Structure 1
Amino acid sequence: MRAVVLLTMAGLSSGAAAQLSVTPLPPVPAMEPLYPKRAAPRLELASVPDRLSAPPIESDPIWSPAPPRWSPAPTVAELVVPPNTDVLMRLDQEVSSKGRKVGDGFKLTVVQDVMHNGVIVIPRGTPAFGSIAWRTGKGMFGKSAKMEIVIDRLSLNGRDVPLFGRFREEGQGNTGATIGTAVAAGVIAAAFVTGHSAVFPAGREFRVPTREAFTLAQSAPQAPALATAGR
């Protein structure tokens, strides 16, 4: 491509204007930037781990006492003592028909442990109780007094255990003395000869059965002492 450029320059006359034919310069290549263009870094958000799944923060262990260790308490079982279980006991004081009346009470003491299934169910020293159920006084002609007593209960750990014991005692008669006196002094004199009182002496032993079955709770073992971990 050719172009005609009219130049009017200082120092040249208008008549000397000349037509100049010039060749255009080649296009200037685009300048490379001083610093190459780089793609802007893409901002990416880091994924935040789930709070629940994040690992625990490690720290120095803090000492704390271990919780107390207890053994489970064993079940307390009931032991059934059957009826007609014999109990050996001793009379604490004398019981006499003389000066006593029906209903008067007396006391006894168990003298031997009562066992059932290898367990002491009635320990020695347990108190028992009875009363006079029937009596007659001594009479004329050497007639002796008679008396019956009942032993009806013992006291075990604050509860009454029914017993079934009934015993009879008769005083020693004076039959021989009565006959002799009657022969010597007549029937009237013999009428004043009396028998003896009925007596259960102190220390006499009785074996008395229980009237009915009763239950006892077996003792549970002691719980172990508290055990705590040291630091």
Structure 2
Amino acid sequence: MSLARVHNFSVSLDGFGTGEGLSQDAPFGHAGQRLHQWMIATRWWDPGGSGGVDDAFAQQHGVGIGAEIMGAGKFGYPGWHEDPGWKGWWGPNPPFHTPVFVLTHHTRPSIEMEGGTTFHFMDASPAEALETARRAADGQDVRIGGGPTTVRDFLAAGLVDHLHVVVVPILLGRGKRLWEGLEGLEAGYRVEATSSPSGVTHMTFTRTSV
């Protein structure tokens, strides 16, 4: 069976995966881009960027992925469902190039974009969404793309096989936490940590039990 994977998911030292005050002008709220500067600096993001540890981890984002699941908060700003013309943050050719399943209580018809990305909107449990995405992935893995609430829900349901979290040395103080309610999660995973010269720490959780 294909795996459910999380990649390049950044959190602050105090565990926040996004800031407070999300809007169309501030997709990550008061956090801005501070959680993602490590990634923006890599060759994976920018051909003129840096190699090294950060780039090596970032490059794994799309390897073997056949579908993505994301939450409504990653697809758009609060209230996007009231805008019938909203097609996500990424322009006409989003970077996914696979079917993408958006979990939302406000479903709408699928949107076919350039480059092989099609957004499908579904109101479903994590298990139901993963089953649907696995069928669409055609034997490849499924990426759980975020935001923090969606990743946390899939972790709580025991559905994540591989988790890559990047701990960024900033304190946000407010926003949405990743680890809330997941006490003892590490018991079912092999946990490894790799420090980077950029100051971030890459932590991987690989499932050891089923």
Output the TM-score relative to the length of structure 2.
0.20
Q: Which has the higher strand share?
A: 1
Q: Which has the higher helix share?
A: 2
Output the TM-score relative to the length of structure 1.
0.19
